[in-house]
Amino acid sequence: SQQGEEDPQALSIQEGENATMNCSYKTSINNLQWYRQNSGRGLVHLILIRSNEREKHSGRLRVTLDTSKKSSSLLITASRAADTASYFCATDAVGFQKLVFGTGTRLLVSP
């Protein structure tokens, strides 16, 4: 399976702290994406990093990609209570035309 797996499954931090989530996958990819899901809602696209990129930034988000280790990390800096959500990585594997999602990391940011 090309499925991504996020680590940790759950993360609890205080406002202002940084949150780091990791994603590992199994096959060669074209790109890797991170999505956010508030409880009971749909997923919202956050950021995409291509296989030839190593790092990407978007506001308070920083994503890294290590294709040799088949892993990615999502860093949220200066977290806020509104960042409380589940975060999913999704991989677009070479030769496939569909995204495959991982099981997600549940982030709780306490005021």
Among 24, 31, 67, 84, binds another protein (CB under 8 A): 31
Q: Could you tell me which residues are beta bridge partners of residue 74?
A: 21, 63
Amino acid letter for position 81: A
Residue 27 C-beta: closest distance to another protein, Å = 15
Nearest to another protein of 10, 78 (CB atom)? 10
The residue range among 15-23, 27-35, 58-66, 68-76 that interacts with another protein, by the rule CB under 8 A, is 27-35
What is the rounded (10 degree) CA torsion for 29, 91, 53, 62?
-160
Q: Judge contact between 5 and 102, C-beta under 8 A.
A: yes
Three-state DSSP at 111 gives coil
The residue range among 17-25, 56-64, 65-73, 94-102 that interacts with another protein, by the rule CB under 8 A, is 94-102
Q: Judge contact between 87 and 107, C-beta under 8 A.
A: yes
**Residue 10 interacts with another protein (CB under 8 A)?**
no
Which residues are near another protein by CB under 8 A? 3, 31, 33, 35, 40-45, 48, 88, 92, 97-104
